[in-house]
Amino acid sequence: MSENRSIEFARNGREGQRHDIAISIEKVRSVLEALRFGSVTLTVHDARVVQIDVTEKTRLTA
C-alpha cells in the first residue's frame, strides 16, 4: 500500500532565491523526518524546487 503527497511552492523573484533554498531544505528535512519507508522526488524548474513528491510505503504483517 502506498500514499502519494505533493507539496507545491510559490515562485519568488531572483532576489528571494537564497530564501527559497532555505525553505526547500527545511521542507525536505521535515518530509524525511516523518518518512519511515518510501521515496522522495524533487521537481526543479529554473534552479528552484517547485514540487516534492513523497511515496510512503506501509508494510503489513500477515
pLDDT tens digit sequence for 28-54: 999 999 999 999 999 999 888 999 999
C-alpha to C-alpha distance for 57 and 1, rounded to whole angstroms:
6
pTM greater than the 0.85 cutoff: no
More confident: 24 or 1:
24
C-alpha to C-alpha distance for 33 and 45, rounded to whole angstroms:
25
Instruction: Sort residue 38 into left (φ over 0), alpha (ψ -120 to 50) or beta.
Output: left
Residues in CB range of 6: below 8 A, 6 or more apart: 51, 52, 53, 54
Instruction: Break the chain into its structural domains and give their ranges.
Output: 2-57
